[in-house]
């Protein structure tokens, strides 16, 4: 679990760095287009890759730190023990969802990889570079949701949480 926490944190920082990178790439793109009249062919595409990988890699950290958006008005009315049981079951459901996405997302990746499918864009990167992020991210999320389930069944009660906009 400690290992997983550390891994989650590393990937969360990686996600943050990738998002910052998109900011630099896309502002460079605007400068290049307006001041040098030479738009890049890579800025938009690499930024989109950063968004995909950044989001999916940081997802398990957000689960561990309870930064995903939740509706907790109802469960807070329940007794603590009931709430921890519900939390555990919900995490098992989440794990099941992840497992299915890993399996099907893996199929998409593997199919593109075997066939050498291109992304059909200017850089012509292979499609699997983006597609691989789905099984990788969701495998990590699968493991993390099992850890969270174990913690909840073990009696850990979380009062409230969630990212806010």
Binding site for another protein (CB under 8 A): 12-13, 15-17, 19-20, 22-27, 29-30, 34, 44, 47-48, 51-52, 54-56, 58-59, 62-63, 65, 67-75, 86-87, 89-90, 93-94, 96-97, 100-101, 104-105, 107-108, 130-131, 133-135, 162-165
Q: Are 60 and 10 in contact (CB under 8 A)?
A: no
Smallest distance from another protein to CB 69, Å: 5
Smallest distance from another protein to CB 116, Å: 18
Q: How far lies 15's CA from each of 11, 12, 29, 108, 137, in Å? A: 6, 5, 21, 23, 12
For another protein, the closer of residues 1 and 13 by Cβ is 13
CA distance 145 to 129: 25
* 3-state class (DSSP) for residue 118: strand
For another protein, the closer of residues 1 and 82 by Cβ is 82
Residue with tokens 């099984």: 135
């Amino acid at each position: 679990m400690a290992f997983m926490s550390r891994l989650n944190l590393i990937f969360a920082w990686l996600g943050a760095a990738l998002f910052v990178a998109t900011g630099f790439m896309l502002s460079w793109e605007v400068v290049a287009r307006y001041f040098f009249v030479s738009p890049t062919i890579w800025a938009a595409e690499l930024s989109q890759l950063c968004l995909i990988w950044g989001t999916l890699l940081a997802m398990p950290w957000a689960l561990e730190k309870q930064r995903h958006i939740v509706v907790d008005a109802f469960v807070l009315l329940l007794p603590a023990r009931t709430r921890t049981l519900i939390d555990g079951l919900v995490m098992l459901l989440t794990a099941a969802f992840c497992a299915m996405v890993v399996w099907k997302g893996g199929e998409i990746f593997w199919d593109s990889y075997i066939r050498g499918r291109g992304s059909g864009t200017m850089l012509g990167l292979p499609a699997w570079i983006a597609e691989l992020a789905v099984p990788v991210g969701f495998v990590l999320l699968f493991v993390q949701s099992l850890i969270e389930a174990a913690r909840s069944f073990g009696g850990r009660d979380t009062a409230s949480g969630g990212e806010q906009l």
